[in-house]
């Protein structure tokens, strides 16, 4: 019963605070500012996502990373940087809404594209997706379909293949293929 109450209050908060976005279809190549949301499960997932993060930055883009760790504390290997922040369960309020200044700042940024790298549902990430002001939101979590402008149903959990799929489909949608 308690999880249902938590979910009710989270959805009430999200529906009351949903951001008004100026939606715009962009290809990955056209996006000059990109937000990345992901869940870090272990050191390998951190290395994979950070490698992708630096690759996207190398194309002269403004890229920001917000990583969630489903633990009480952020592990030692998740090093916060100017453009990369991490949060954990201690940064959530009692019903799962992120309660951290960096998360609110991240959600208020008007990215050209926001990419949700999560493949399973997470209430904290859903909060970020609901509050974002990004022009184009892409993701692969079925429970968050309502927050996406482009949902890519990918069974493979490989981040690079997901970015390749985003590149392929956004090019086709914008007519740049």
- pLDDT per position as a tens digit, 1-40: 567 777 777 777 777 767 778 889 999 999 999 999 999 9
Rounded distance between C-alpha atoms, residue 47 and residue 44, angstroms = 5
Rounded distance between C-alpha atoms, residue 125 and residue 37, angstroms = 7
The answer to whether the beta carbons of residues 93 and 99 sit under 8 Å apart is yes
In the predicted structure, residue 88 carries a pLDDT above the cut 90: yes
Task: Identify which of 41, 51, 129 has the alpha carbon closest to the alpha carbon of residue 86.
Answer: 41
Rounded distance between C-alpha atoms, residue 15 and residue 114, angstroms = 20
Question: Bigger pLDDT: 177 or 51?
Answer: 51
Note the pTM of the prediction, 2 decimals.
0.90
What does the pLDDT read at residue 6?
76
pLDDT digits (tens, 9 = 90+) for 91-129: 988 877 888 899 989 988 999 999 999 989 888 898 899
């Amino acid at each position: 019963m308690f999880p249902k109450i938590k979910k009710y209050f989270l959805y009430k908060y999200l529906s009351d605070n949903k951001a008004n976005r100026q939606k715009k279809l962009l290809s990955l190549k056209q996006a000059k500012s990109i937000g990345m949301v992901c869940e870090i499960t272990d050191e390998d997932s951190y290395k994979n996502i950070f490698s992708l993060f630096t690759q996207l930055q190398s194309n002269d883009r403004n890229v920001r990373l917000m990583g969630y760790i489903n633990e009480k504390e952020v592990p030692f290997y998740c090093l916060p940087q100017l453009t990369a922040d991490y949060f954990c369960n201690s940064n959530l309020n009692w019903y799962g809404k992120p309660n951290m200044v960096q998360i609110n700042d991240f959600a208020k940024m008007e990215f050209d594209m926001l990419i949700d790298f999560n493949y399973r549902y997470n209430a904290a990430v859903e909060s970020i997706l609901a509050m974002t002001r990004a022009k184009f939101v892409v993701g692969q979590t079925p429970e968050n379909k309502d927050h996406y402008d482009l949902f890519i149903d990918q069974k493979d959990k490989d981040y690079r293949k997901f970015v390749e799929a985003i590149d392929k489909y956004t090019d086709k949608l914008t007519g740049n293929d």
